[in-house]
């Protein structure tokens, strides 16, 4: 439908022009971002900021132009494309060119400050990066060293407050120009439902899993008290964040040795197995590629192996945060990681390749449909595959030897819950806080206090010592300075179990859900690919139905997966306080 009384060809011609222009600018921006992320300099930062400013400016311009067209007589495809165009941005810059360039420069500068963060740990004379500080949190049992590493990294946000405050103001101006109340409302409008309904859906999913999380939290708190004593860990309050083995307390598997079930038998150590075989970073990625290929998907292109960054270069600053890239929206897919040979990175590589195989599957769609059904789908695909990294799978690919003692299912499930279930409230808290910041319910003078109030509310964690407003602890989490919406990770943590349950059924996997693997199942691969190829051409309930037969996100798969552990935790917690 064209402008007031035109015909459908009017909006069709507009969309064709818009997609062509946005494809060109998106490729330019991706290439500039890749150079910046893999070679951080003032020049690469400036080039990336300008490329992103051009892309954002064009997207805002075209989104506004699209409002001149009505879609009541447009084809369903044209109507969906128009809607998606208006929702395409996670960062909407103001139409004022100077302000638009300022906004993208602010985000680039905050990302650069994050990437260059360093701290000299206790007992050392040399500054180290986030990866090294994270290893201290995982490996040390000295509360002073743990607090020092935690506090040292969180200083990275110290100088970001003013930039972040200005970023919020400019981002909200851009969102309002597109017709949204603020940036948070714009983010929540991307889920094929009204933003207030989406917020209710998130609450519903959290209510399904919150009792399980509280049970896990109570068990972990009690075991940590056994290690660190009453002076460090309260009987019934929040857990100190620096004792949980992760810089953001978002996953706790790093302290599994402190939490393992009593009298646990021999536990298979994937990290040790990988290291003992002399596994290289490329070989680690080859393991993950082999899994996707076993489902019937095409191998990665040669360019992936030539152009990806798999290890930290010695000669320059880079953004080590693991990410998957689609540079030409066709076949130039890559990952960027500073891979370490660990079981954790084995899982992470599966996750990142999930993005790449998804990107490749929907590459035949029109440009505005080259995205996942919603952003949680993109994050869930690789993690769904990682749920099939079971003891039986590791045996089949030769990473464990015949006769290797099987890990007790309680230990196996506890280890995975420390990764997956522990993450859920953090995945919720990051954007719950940002939604209030964007709406104005939280002002700059209260950023840090409210950050910890929200995290304590959902996670039951607290900083190792009081944190004042001279700090800006949200800046110590990459996704905040980088303007990456975080609700996708919460949704993915739910969806991956829903996906896994459906695909395991297709694969004919018997036994309990946590032991099921879809490795080498072409039936499961066929159903997975059918969903991946849709991209964003259909509303997400349609895509969910293709994969699972269900039209509503549901945590029942997660609760079924962990059912044996839930019963065990209830027994362990009997007579002990739950909650904070």
Which residues does the annotation mark as catalytic? 321-322, 351-352, 355, 379, 479, 489
Q: Per-residue b/e over 491-525, b at no fewer than 16 CB within 10 Å?
A: bbbbbbbbbbbbbbbbbebeeebbbbbbbbbeebb
Which helix (H) or strand (E) segment holds residue 428: the answer is helix 423-439
Nearest residue to 458 via CA among 483, 490, 413, 484: 490
Q: Reduced to 3 states, what is the DSSP secondary structure of residue 233?
A: coil
Burial grade of 466 (CB within 10 A; 0-12, 13-18, 19 or more): exposed
Distance, CA of 298 to CA of 140 (rounded, Å):
43
- Nearest Cα residue to 289 out of 339, 356, 217: 356
3-state secondary structure 162-210: HHHHHHHHHHHHHHHHCCCCCHHHHHHCCCCCCHHHHHHHHHHHHHHHH
- The DSSP string of 54-65 is HHHHHHHHHHHH
Task: Determine contact, residues 259/226, Cβ cutoff 8 Å.
Answer: no
Output phi, psi for 336, to 5 deg.
-125, 115
As a whole number of angstroms, the distance between CA 295 and CA 523 comes to 8
Count Cβ atoms below 10 Å from residue 571 Cβ, excluding itself: 7
Q: How far apart are CA 274 and CA 255, in angstroms?
A: 20
Distance CA 209, CA 326 (A): 34
Residues 6+ apart with CB under 8 A from 398: none
Please answer whether residues 319 and 336 qualify as being in contact, where contact means their C-beta atoms are separated by less than 8 angstroms: yes
Helix, coil or strand: residue 97:
helix
224: phi then psi, degrees, rounded to nearest 5 = -70, -35
Quote the Cα angle for 37-127-111, to 5°.
25
Q: DSSP for 437-503? A: HHHTSS-GGGHHHHHHHHHHHHH-EE-SS---TT--GGGGSTTTTTT---HHHHHHHHHHHHHHHHH
């Amino acid at each position: 439908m064209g402008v007031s009384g035109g015909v459908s060809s009017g909006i069709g011609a507009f969309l064709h022009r818009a997609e062509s222009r946005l494809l060109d600018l998106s490729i330019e921006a991706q290439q500039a971002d890749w150079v910046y992320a893999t070679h951080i300099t003032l020049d690469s930062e400036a080039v990336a900021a300008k490329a992103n400013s051009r892309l954002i400016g064009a997207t805002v311009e075209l989104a506004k132009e699209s409002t001149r067209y009505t879609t009541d007589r447009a084809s369903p495809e044209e109507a969906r494309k128009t809607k998606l165009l208006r929702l395409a941005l996670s960062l909407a810059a103001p139409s004022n060119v100077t302000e638009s360039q300022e906004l993208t420069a602010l985000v680039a500068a905050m990302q650069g400050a994050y990437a260059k963060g360093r701290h000299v740990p206790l007992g050392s004379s040399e500054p180290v990066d986030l990866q090294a500080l994270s290893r201290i949190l995982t490996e040390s049992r000295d509360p002073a060293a743990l607090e020092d590493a935690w506090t040292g990294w969180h200083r990275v946000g110290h100088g970001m407050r003013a930039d972040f405050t200005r970023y919020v103001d400019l981002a909200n101006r851009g969102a309002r120009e597109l017709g949204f109340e603020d940036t948070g409302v714009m983010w929540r409008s991307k889920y094929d439902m009204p933003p207030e309904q989406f917020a209710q859906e998130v609450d519903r999913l959290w209510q399904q899993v919150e009792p399980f999380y509280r049970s896990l939290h109570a068990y972990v708190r009690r075991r940590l008290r056994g290690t660190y004593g009453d002076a460090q860990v309260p009987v019934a309050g929040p857990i100190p964040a620096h004792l949980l083995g992760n810089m953001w307390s978002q996953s706790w598997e790093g302290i599994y040795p402190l939490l393992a079930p009593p009298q646990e038998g021999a536990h298979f150590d994937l990290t040790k197995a990988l290291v003992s075989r002399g596994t290289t970073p490329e070989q680690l990625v080859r393991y993950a590629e082999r899994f996707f290929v076993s489902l019937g998907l095409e191998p990665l292109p040669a360019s992936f192996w030539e152009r990806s960054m798999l290890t930290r270069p010695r000669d320059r600053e880079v953004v080590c945060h693991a990410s998957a890239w689609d540079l030409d929206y066709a076949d130039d897919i890559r990952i960027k990681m500073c891979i370490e040979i660990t079981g954790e990175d084995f899982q992470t590589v599966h996750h990142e390749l999930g993005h790449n195989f998804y990107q490749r599957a929907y590459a035949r769609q029109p440009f505005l449909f080259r995205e996942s059904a919603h952003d949680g789908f993109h994050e869930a695909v690789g993690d769904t595959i990682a749920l099939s990294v079971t003891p039986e799978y590791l045996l089949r690919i030769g990473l464990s030897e015949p006769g290797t003692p099987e890990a007790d299912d309680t230990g196996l499930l506890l280890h995975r819950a420390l990764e997956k279930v522990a993450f859920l409230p953090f995945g919720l808290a990051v954007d719950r806080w940002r939604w209030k910041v964007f709406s104005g319910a939280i002002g700059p003078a209260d950023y840090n206090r409210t950050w910890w109030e929200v995290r304590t509310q959902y996670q039951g964690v607290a900083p190792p010592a009081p944190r004042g407003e001279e700090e800006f602890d949200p800046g110590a989490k990459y996704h905040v300075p980088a303007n990456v919406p975080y609700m996708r990770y919460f949704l993915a943590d739910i969806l991956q179990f829903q996906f896994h349950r459906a695909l395991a059924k297709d694969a004919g996997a018997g036994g309990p859900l946590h032991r099921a693997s879809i490795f080498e199942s072409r039936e499961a691969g066929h159903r997975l690919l059918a969903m991946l190829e849709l991209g964003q051409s259909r509303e997400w309930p349609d895509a969910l139905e293709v994969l699972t037969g269900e039209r509503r996100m549901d945590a029942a798969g997660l609760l079924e997966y962990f059912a044996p552990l839930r019963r065990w935790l209830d027994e362990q917690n009997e007579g002990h306080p739950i909650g904070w």
